[in-house]
Amino acid sequence: MKNTSDHNPGQERPSFRTYVQRGDYLSQNRRNEDTRRRDDQRTSTSRRTGNKKDGTSDKPQSSQSSPRPQRNAGVYSQRKQQQYKQRFEDPTKPIRLNKYLANAGICSRREADDYIQAGVVSVNGVIVDNLGAKVMPTDRILFHDQPVHREQKVYILLNKPKNTVTTTDDPQERHTVLDIVRSACPERVYPVGRLDRNTTGVLLLTNDGDLAVKLTHPKYGKKKVYAATLDKELTEEAEQTLRQGVVLDGEKIAPDALEFPKDDRLHIGLEIHSGQNRVVRRMFEQVGCRVLQLDRVSFAGLTKKNVPRGKFRFLTPKEVAMLQMGAFE
């Protein structure tokens, strides 16, 4: 497990218990290092501007001084949205037409296949209805006679609240995660993976299909950290059964780590890499326990630190680069 953006490979990793309790990996040494860096920057600025050590300045004071900006002010403002440049694309390399439409935010790849078969997509003036068709990045593509343009990549981290479904379209018209981020950007984003309606915590939304596959496909084994509250204490026998692994849908699943962060056996910290549906709840059901509350503390190295429940933020360029490189577990 690693920090979302400031992880130092040479830094000692805190305990799993500390991680579950705090939900972040910023050690005291790292904080001290950041403090020293800020002090050095202030000293350098003072020398350039003529400020003295006691805070006074040799320069005449302005009659109106601008207020000091509040720390973290506007962290969830739309002005904080990060724009990401398109990764280098070889103009001579073809791309599947359904993927091109999905990357443009028109629809999903599966829906794009239906539109292609319906004959509403044209490439360079020619209707294309072949599902395996490929296009060049420089081709002129029309959807219902309207030009298709590739979208900016957007990456949003949401601290999902309860009573919210993780879906792009709910026939029952329940509150969805897209309702929360609808005003965040004009691009069409979708959740990476799923969380139960009453499961809270870290959820990533993006329009980057390639990254979504890397984060959800079983072969990449991206880890998740959960904090669970049970209806009764977990016995030592049940704990041992979980550590050895339980069989779900023909697959034996065991946690990578299991701890008791509050020194009782009702609150469990669980690290796991399986992507099965409702995997944590089903694991505890196998040993006779029911999960009353479930919160995802971390997903693929991203945490909900400084993101209140029901709020979101945009990933930093550094976080996006780390995810694309597969640097996070």
Compute the average pLDDT of residues 111-127: 92
- Band the pLDDT of 222: cuts 50, 70, 90: confident
The mean pLDDT value of the chain amounts to 78
- Is pLDDT at 55 greater than 50 in this prediction? no
CA 296 – CA 23 distance, rounded (Å): 10
170 falls within a domain:
yes
Q: Is 196 a catalytic residue?
A: yes
Place 75 in a pLDDT band, splitting at 50, 70 and 90: very low
Condensed to tens digits (0 to 9), the pLDDT of residues 122-154 reads 999 999 988 889 998 788 999 999 888 777 889
Looking at the fold, whether 204 and 313 belong to one and the same domain comes out as yes
213 and 230 co-located in one domain: no
Domain residues for the domain of 249 are 223-299
Residues 294 and 188 reside in one and the same domain: no
What are the percentages of helix, strand and coil residues in the chain, rounded to 5?
30, 20, 50
pLDDT band, very low/low/confident/very high, at 168 (cuts 50, 70, 90): confident
Instruction: With respect to residue 267, please indicate whether it lies within any of the assigned structural domains.
Output: yes
Residue 2 lies in a domain: no
How many structural domains are present in the chain?
3
Helix (H) or strand (E) holding 299: strand 291-299
207 with 311, same domain: the answer is: yes
Q: 290 and 180 share a domain?
A: no
Residue 68 has pLDDT above 60, yes or no: no
Burial class of residue 162 (count of CB atoms within 10 Å of its CB; 0-12, 13-18, 19+): middle
Alpha carbons 200 and 208: distance in angstroms, whole number:
23
> pTM value?
0.63
The residue that leads in pLDDT, 281 or 59, is 281
> Rg for the chain (alpha carbons), in Å?
24
Mean pLDDT value of segment 63-85: 43
Q: What percent of the chain has pLDDT over 90?
A: 41
| 322 pLDDT more than 70 | yes
Question: What pLDDT shows up at residue 79?
Answer: 44
Helix (H) or strand (E) run with residue 244 in it:
helix 236-244
Which tokens hold the place of 5?
């953006």
Task: Give how far Cα 185 sits from Cα of 98, 223, 320, Å.
Answer: 23, 28, 17
Pairing of strands 291-299, 200-206: parallel
pLDDT tens per residue across span 152-162: 889 999 999 99
In whole angstroms, what separates CA 88 from the centre of its chain? 23
Question: Could you tell me the pLDDT band of residue 93, with boundaries at 50, 70 and 90?
Answer: confident
Q: Are residues 295 and 227 in the same domain?
A: yes
Give the active site residue among 6, 139, 196, 256: 196
Residue 175, domain CATH? 3.30.70.580
CA angle, residues 317, 84, 322, in degrees to nearest 5? 35
263 and 128 housed in the same domain:
no
Q: For residue 276, what is the domain's CATH number? A: 3.30.70.1560
pLDDT by residue (tens digit) across 21-46? 555 433 344 444 555 556 666 655 55
For 86-116, the three-class secondary structure string (H helix, E strand, C coil) is CCCCCCCCCEEHHHHHHHCCCCCHHHHHHHH
Q: What percent of the chain has pLDDT over 70?
A: 71
Lowest mean pLDDT among 33-42, 90-99, 252-261, 307-316: 33-42
